[in-house]
Amino acid sequence: MSAEAAYEKLCEHARQTAVLATALNVLEWDERTQMPRAAGPYRAEQSAYLAGLIHERETDPARGDWLAELVESPLADDPHGDTGCVIRQLKRRFDKKTKLPQKLVEELTRTSSVGQTAWEKAREADDYSLFLPLLEKTIDLKRQEAEAIGYDDSPYDALLDDYEPGETTANVARVLAGLRDRLAPLVAQIAASDRAAPSEIITRHYPAEGQAAFGVQAAAAIGFDFDAGRLDVTAHPFCTGLGPRDTRLTTRYDEDKYDGGLFGILHEAGHGIYDQGMPPELFGLPTGDYVSLGIHESQSRMWENLVGRSQAFWDHFYQPLQRVFPEALADVSKEEFCFAVNESKPSLVRTESDEATYNLHVIVRFELEQALLSGDLKAADLPAAWNAKYKDLLGIEPPSDADGVLQDVHWAAGLFGYFPTYALGNLYASQFFEQAAKELGDLDAMFARGEFAPLREWLREKIHSQGQRYSAAELVERVSGEPLSPEPLMRHLTAKFGGYYGFGAE
């Protein structure tokens, strides 16, 4: 077979696998938004069967044969070119998938399912000991997984690579340590300020209908295409792709806390705009797929925080918002509203934390999960270590494990190496955003006029349309001219919170 013919076959195979994978996404979206209660067990059978078909295709020896031929062919010469990117990324994925013994995959799946149930019970009972045996088993299996996949430096590398392909533990540790050392003093400075945000504004009454109407208006304004997507309500908000022109967002509305219905929608719309910005004709191929979870998160955090929580955004949107919620906002100035949605203070729960402290929550988890995996920290000692780190970095200690070490499902679900992508997303976002401002000019002035297209099109050109041609690290350097650094994020946080809380640049 010629290399061209093998490449054709490989692409067809990958596209058909994506057809199945998106069909599975339809089942999962339906399960979380529409499915009747009693249908759960059969839906699990349907999903497991499709997942099995997808796994079979992804480890199909025919794919291995085409790839073996193609990596040696001229089509692979330019690793960032159309064909080279496809070959390199599919080879990566194939090698990784075929390295895992079937038995280990099954045990990981089973343990993740049992682990999540145990975690739920432990959290409800506020009893870490109910979760401990499952966590120990999970850590053991994740070590086996890392060994099976292989790594250069530390086992954590092999796991991190699932979410942030090509990234190394050492580099992430270096960047996040730098961030931690700069951020902890900033957070302390905010805590020491005598200014307080008028946070009571956020806990007034905001009818869900108005939240939905304004959310759709804002998401459409920043560029989410509702002809190729929709917005629904779920307990746990997410964004999923059901096809190249079918991106679905979800959110939740708390009528007595205006947060998820506002910034939650902008966040998910940011994810959605990334998906909608990839070339539809490349859907199912690495050239039409997202780079990493961190890069995906950078898009959601940029629209949520750097745009959505900026004063310029509200220069444009505050009057429309007041019209939607006249009772809650009639007596509130734009400046008060902006300070209220930018309140920063140390808190216990990551998902409810603000733009500044959020990263410290992530750093705690990143440091702990590395220690768990290396064996430096025993699972039995995790709650004490957790509480100590919170005390150290955030200055507060959880009164209970339910609000401490048991708050996130990730470790129960076997997601080791996932947490750092949340902080990486913030770092990438600021670094991209600074560069966009350099190239596009006064972004604030554009936002104040309701012009979001220039930023969106810049992101599309520089990031969305690139697919997986570059790794996250390469992309950051290519776009901004600099390797990843904590500086842009620190500059942004210092300027913003210095303004609100009354202290200058460090």
Measured distance CA(366)–CA(401) in Å, rounded: 18
**What DSSP designation does 467 have?**
T
* Residue given tokens 């997808």 in the structure block: 54
Q: Which stretch binds a second copy (CB under 8 A): 48-56, 99-107, 349-357, 423-431?
A: 48-56
Among 80, 96, 182, 230, binds a second copy (CB under 8 A): 230
Among 194, 200, 227, 331, binds a second copy (CB under 8 A): 227
Least Cβ distance, residue 12 to a second copy (angstroms): 12
Residue 271 labeled ligand binder: yes
Which residues, 6 or more positions from 113, have their beta carbon under 8 angstroms from its beta carbon?
none
Total residues binding a second copy (CB under 8 A): 34
Residue 297 labeled ligand binder: yes
Hey, what are 139's tokens? Answer: 């850590």
Among 26, 130, 312, 409, binds a second copy (CB under 8 A): 26
Measured distance CA(397)–CA(197) in Å, rounded: 23
Among 4, 8, 12, 30, binds a second copy (CB under 8 A): 30
Q: Which stretch binds a second copy (CB under 8 A): 13-21, 178-186, 194-202, 428-436?
A: 13-21
* Residue given tokens 């390469």 in the structure block: 474
Among 127, 136, 162, 246, binds a second copy (CB under 8 A): 246
Q: Which stretch binds a second copy (CB under 8 A): 23-31, 184-192, 398-406, 409-417?
A: 23-31
Considering the rule CB under 8 A, would residue 49 count as an interface residue with a second copy? yes
Measured distance CA(190)–CA(196) in Å, rounded: 10
Assign 497 to helix, strand or coil: helix
Contact status, residue 311 vs residue 499, Cβ threshold 8 Å: no
Q: Which stretch binds a second copy (CB under 8 A): 46-54, 133-141, 209-217, 417-425?
A: 46-54
Q: Verify whether residue 268 is a known catalytic residue.
A: yes
Task: Indicate which residue of 69, 164, 268, 369 is catalytic.
Answer: 268
> Residue 37 or 103: which CB sits closer to a second copy?
37
Least Cβ distance, residue 23 to a second copy (angstroms): 5
Q: Which stretch binds a second copy (CB under 8 A): 17-25, 77-85, 368-376, 463-471?
A: 17-25
Estimate to the nearest angstrom the gap between the alpha carbon of 315 and the chain centroid. Answer: 28
Q: For the beta carbon of residue 299, count every other beta carbon within 10 angstroms.
A: 26
| Binding residues for a second copy restricted to 279-338, rule: CB under 8 A | 283
> Residue 27 or 86: which CB sits closer to a second copy?
27
Measured distance CA(382)–CA(139) in Å, rounded: 12
**What DSSP designation does 232 have?**
E
Phi and psi at 134, nearest 5°, equal: -70, -35
Among 242, 262, 295, 412, binds a second copy (CB under 8 A): 242
HEC profile of 271-332: HHHHHHHCCHHHCCCHHHCCCCHHHHHHHHHHHHHHHCCCHHHHHHHHHHHHHHCHHHHCCC
Measured distance CA(186)–CA(183) in Å, rounded: 5
For residue 56, count CB atoms less than 10 angstroms from its CB and return exposed for 0-12, middle for 13-18, buried for 19 or more.
exposed
Considering the rule CB under 8 A, would residue 120 count as an interface residue with a second copy? no
The number of residues in the chain equals 506
Give the CA distances from residue 126 to residues 20, 111, 254, 406, in Å, rounded to whole numbers and listed in that order: 40, 21, 25, 8
> Residue 246 or 336: which CB sits closer to a second copy?
246
Residue 267 labeled ligand binder: yes
> Residue 151 or 226: which CB sits closer to a second copy?
226
Helix (H) or strand (E) holding 248: strand 246-251
> Residue 208 or 396: which CB sits closer to a second copy?
208
Considering the rule CB under 8 A, would residue 148 count as an interface residue with a second copy? no
Interface characters, 167-206, with a second copy (x: CB under 8 A): ----------------------------------------
Assign 85 to helix, strand or coil: helix
Among 3, 19, 177, 448, binds a second copy (CB under 8 A): 19
Considering the rule CB under 8 A, would residue 216 count as an interface residue with a second copy? no
Considering the rule CB under 8 A, would residue 277 count as an interface residue with a second copy? no
Among 84, 215, 244, 404, binds a second copy (CB under 8 A): 244
Assign 247 to helix, strand or coil: strand
* Binding-site residue positions: 267, 271, 297
List residues with catalytic annotation: 268
Residues of this chain that interact with a second copy (CB under 8 A) are 16, 19-20, 22-23, 26-27, 30, 34-39, 41-43, 45-46, 49-50, 53, 225-230, 242-246, 283
